[in-house]
Structure 1
Amino acid sequence: MSQDNGANVSIVKRFAQQLGIDNIKTIKKACEFSQLLDIRTSSSSFKALQLNGSSKTIICLELAAVSCGTTVDRTEAVKISGVNKKVYIGSLKAVESILELHDNKSIKDLAVQFGCTQAVTLAQQTLQRYEKMLCSTVDTSSPLFQVAALDVACRKLKVRVDRVKLKETCCVKKTTYSRLLTEMEKHADSLLAEKVITTKKTKTFLEEVEEKLNAESPADKPRKRHYDNDSEEETKENYAEWKKRILAKAAKS
């Protein structure tokens, strides 16, 4: 290891400690990103990106954390970086592009990362409805749409999730994100309402069938013979099976 690389590792470790990162894999990945960024970017480019030594290292740590399946406290990261939030997010996007880290995670990937897998189905259905409504060539596979759909699904299903960190994964303006959430919520509400109506209809129909079966006169039901106890029990079982088949057919219709 060269002296420069050794110094770089020490700097990364120091900032990692301030951010509460102690995962060796994440720290190593941040060092790799930092070295790769130095190779692909000139000193004049660093100035254009408004990157200083601190912000470069912090951004590499955040990107490394994300690539390892975790996140960092964005507020603390901005504070330590020495630049404002707008500059930090712009620089992060630029560095992500330079390092070719455009890994669009799916709703399932995000749900696993944030521990809210029970919201996956509604999130996917909400995004599908949104896509149909657009009828355009908008790429909804980008993080913005995936995150928004999952966020809305978690809200509607009352699934606990760190929404601040979830939003930070798509690096977008608050107004843009809020506007998209409002649109997504309409589709999620519609889906949930349809589900409730369908459930009620099915339940009511089955209840009506069962009521009719129970209200049938003895003559309409399978005849019961009373030769002995065994034949009576057998007749009851036959009637139970018959009733079960009728209800099953009703549920399918």
Structure 2
Amino acid sequence: MDRKLLQTTAQRLNVYDEAILKKSEEFIRLYQTKALVKTLDDQAKTVLCLDLAAQLIGSSFDKSVALALCGLKRSAYQNSLNNLEKILGLDKPLTISDGCIQLGCTAIKEDAEDILQKYKQIDHKVKDMDHPQYVAVAIYLACKAKKVSIDKTRLALLSRLKPSQWRELVASFENLGLSKKATRQKNKEINKMEEEYMIETDDQEAKNKQEQEEEEDYEIWKNRILKEAYKELKQRGQTIDSVK
């Protein structure tokens, strides 16, 4: 294995983590021993192994630079990455949790899991639930309902679908009413806020009414006191006139 090529490529990708470099070396060696037909050149193989190692360790990786170094289109790059995962035995099923972490939208994890679970229960024609397309669509619909923005390009790569296939799968989810799952939850939250607002409003109205009643009680008291004072002054005046 060309250690110098690995270090040079890693530097161009701004990858300096020694753990990623060691894991990349391991992947390259495995590829050399397991791949029956070696279709990748040394540069592409090195970039792809660095990408897989960075994903495994959870480090950021510049895909745009990786594409330029490999000289591949985005779809061809992703296909090569998927094949490399299979060769290395890394192609474990994508989970909602993993997908949300990769897309930076962990807040909608539970909603996406609910959507995916409902889809599994309703659509019995599904053959390969391990395919990441279902996870990708569930995450997409949950984000759409909660108005959470995500990287659409990264999502498309995650799904491993062509645009026409993606639209068809999204439509199948929506036709089953699953896109409303997260929306219903959002509506519940809105209704709760409205109920709290109404309670606060009722409390304020009751307080205002009480203050108004107290103010009226004061006016009644004031008028009574004034009347008694006038009455007393009048009686005093009559007493003085009788003395004269």
Same fold (TM over 0.5): yes
User: What pairs up with 1:64-83 in 2 under 5 angstroms?
Assistant: 64-83=53-72
Q: Secondary structure at the match of 1:32?
A: helix
Q: Secondary structure at the match of 2:82?
A: helix
Hey, what does 1:188 align to over in structure 2? Answer: 179
Q: Secondary structure at the match of 1:169?
A: helix
Residues 199/27 of structure 1: CA separation in 2 closer, same or farther (3 Å cut): same
Alignment counterpart, residue 132 of structure 2, candidates 134, 143, 147: 143
1:24 and 2:18 are equivalent in the alignment = yes
Distance of 1:114 and 1:194 partners within structure 2: 22
Deviation of 1:174 after TM superposition, in Å, equals 3.1
Residues 121/190 of structure 1: CA separation in 2 closer, same or farther (3 Å cut): closer
TM-score (norm 1): 0.65
Q: Which runs of 5+ in 2 are unaligned?
A: 203-244
1:38 and 2:32 are equivalent in the alignment = yes
Hey, what does 2:7 align to over in structure 1? Answer: 13
Hey, what does 1:63 align to over in structure 2? Answer: 52
Aligned residue identity for 1:112? I
Aligned residue identity for 1:69? G
Deviation of 1:21 after TM superposition, in Å, equals 2.2
Tell which structure's C-alpha radius of gyration is larger. 2
Distance of 1:83 and 1:77 partners within structure 2: 9
Hey, what does 1:101 align to over in structure 2? Answer: 90
1:133 and 2:122 are equivalent in the alignment = yes
Aligned residue identity for 1:95? L
Distance of 1:41 and 1:191 partners within structure 2: 43
Deviation of 1:38 after TM superposition, in Å, equals 0.8
Superposed CA deviations along residues 221-243 of structure 1, whole A, max 9, x for unmatched, are xxxxxxxxxxxxxxxxxxxxxxx
Distance of 1:35 and 1:57 partners within structure 2: 11
CA contact (8 A) 1:65 1:72 kept: yes
CA contact (8 A) 2:115 2:181 kept: no
Deviation of 1:71 after TM superposition, in Å, equals 4.9
> In angstroms, what is the RMSD of aligned CA positions?
3.4
Alignment counterpart, residue 147 of structure 2, candidates 135, 153, 158: 158
Q: Secondary structure at the match of 1:104?
A: coil
Superposed CA deviations along residues 86-142 of structure 1, whole A, max 9, x for unmatched, are 433332222211111112232123323443221011111111222233123433343
CA contact (8 A) 2:142 2:182 kept: no
TM-score (norm 2): 0.67
Deviation of 1:84 after TM superposition, in Å, equals 3.4
Aligned residue identity for 1:12? L
Answer 1 or 2: which has greater helix percent.
2
Hey, what does 1:115 align to over in structure 2? Answer: 104
Residues 83/117 of structure 1: CA separation in 2 closer, same or farther (3 Å cut): closer
The alignment-based identity, stated in percent, is 26
